Amino acid sequence: MTGAQFAEWVQEKFDSCNIHDEIETSKVIVEVMKKFFSLGKEEEQKN
């Protein structure tokens, strides 16, 4: 997944999220951060 694809995925996640619901928003943020760090680990393994 490229940086642009990741950014698009994040935008879609936040667009579908009810930002007025703190619990839902927190869950989306955690999901995004997990995906971000897993992508970083994949990149490290390639090098």
Q: What pLDDT is stored for residue 47 in this prediction?
A: 66
Q: What is the pLDDT, as a whole number, of residue 40?
A: 81
**What's the pLDDT at 25?**
93
User: Torsion-angle region of residue 25: left (phi > 0), alpha (psi -120 to 50) or beta?
Assistant: alpha
User: Rounded to whole angstroms, how far apart are CA atoms 26 and 7?
Assistant: 18
Q: Into how many domains does the chain fold? A: 1
Q: Would you place residue 11 in the very low, low, confident or very high pLDDT band (cuts 50, 70, 90)?
A: very high
* pTM as predicted: 0.77
List, in order, residues 6 or more apart from 1 with CB less than 8 Å away. Answer: 9, 39
Range of the domain at 32: 3-46
Q: Which helix (H) or strand (E) holds 8?
A: helix 3-15
